[in-house]
């Protein structure tokens, strides 16, 4: 972003301005501030259980995938030491979100996470759902 965003402005109203595919359509949307621990737990759970249909990873691989996802959300290269990443994570602003849109199917695998970096000029978003249906326009869903 061209100018820093105030952390208090980093919520659902801001996310809806980003024109994210997962938030397109009419429906309610909610967001709440969360912690890096919560985000890492959610990422680990998703990797470990593999969504509604199962097929998750083992514990070690689930941890690896969770940490890789957390690093990506924070914009950290893979060679950053683990303790440095842990120290950096609380400097970010973490938000969890969900919406009543055609993209989300409101099962246990729906996930919406967004993070504002410490400079308050970079936002990363991760949205996931565990469905194999087509988008409202008939195209394959991302």
HSE value, Cβ hemisphere, 13 Å, CA-based, for 54: 0
130 versus 71: which is more confidently predicted?
Answer: 71
Does residue 118 carry a pLDDT above 80? yes
C-alpha span between 20 and 24 (Å, rounded): 7
C-alpha span between 45 and 55 (Å, rounded): 12
> Which pLDDT does position 128 carry in this prediction?
87
- Contact at 8 Å (CB) between 40 and 73? no
HSE value, Cβ hemisphere, 13 Å, CA-based, for 87: 5
Q: What is the 3-state secondary structure (H, E, C) of 38-81?
A: HHHHHHHHHHHHCCCCCCCCCHHHHHHHHHHHHHHHHCCCCCCC
C-alpha span between 38 and 78 (Å, rounded): 21
Structure-derived torsion over alpha carbons of residues 33, 3, 19, 67, reported in degrees to the nearest 10: -50
Does residue 108 carry a pLDDT above 90? no
> Which pLDDT does position 42 carry in this prediction?
92
Does residue 28 carry a pLDDT above 70? yes
> Which pLDDT does position 57 carry in this prediction?
82
27 versus 141: which is more confidently predicted?
Answer: 27
How does the average pLDDT of the chain come out, rounded?
Answer: 88
Poorest-confidence range of 60-64, 110-114, 117-121, 128-132?
128-132
Q: Which two tokens stand for residue 9?
A: 């402005």
For 36-57, the pLDDT digits (tens) are 999 999 999 888 887 666 677 8
Using CA atoms, how far residue 82 sits from 26, 70, 77, 102, in Å, is: 41, 11, 11, 37
């Amino acid at each position: 972003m061209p100018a820093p965003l105030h952390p208090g402005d980093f919520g659902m109203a801001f996310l809806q301005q980003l024109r994210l595919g997962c938030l397109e359509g009419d429906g309610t949307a909610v967001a709440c501030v969360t912690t890096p621990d919560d985000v890492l737990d959610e990422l680990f759970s998703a990797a470990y259980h593999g969504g509604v249909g199962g097929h998750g990873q083992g514990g070690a691989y689930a941890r690896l995938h969770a940490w890789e996802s957390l690093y990506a959300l924070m914009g950290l290269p893979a060679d950053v030491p683990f303790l440095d990443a842990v120290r950096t994570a609380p400097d970010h602003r973490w938000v969890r979100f969900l919406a009543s849109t055609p993209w989300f199917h409101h099962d246990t695998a729906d996930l919406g996470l967004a993070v504002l970096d410490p400079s308050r000029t970079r936002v990363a978003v991760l949205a996931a759902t565990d469905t194999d249906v087509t988008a409202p326009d008939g195209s394959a869903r991302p």
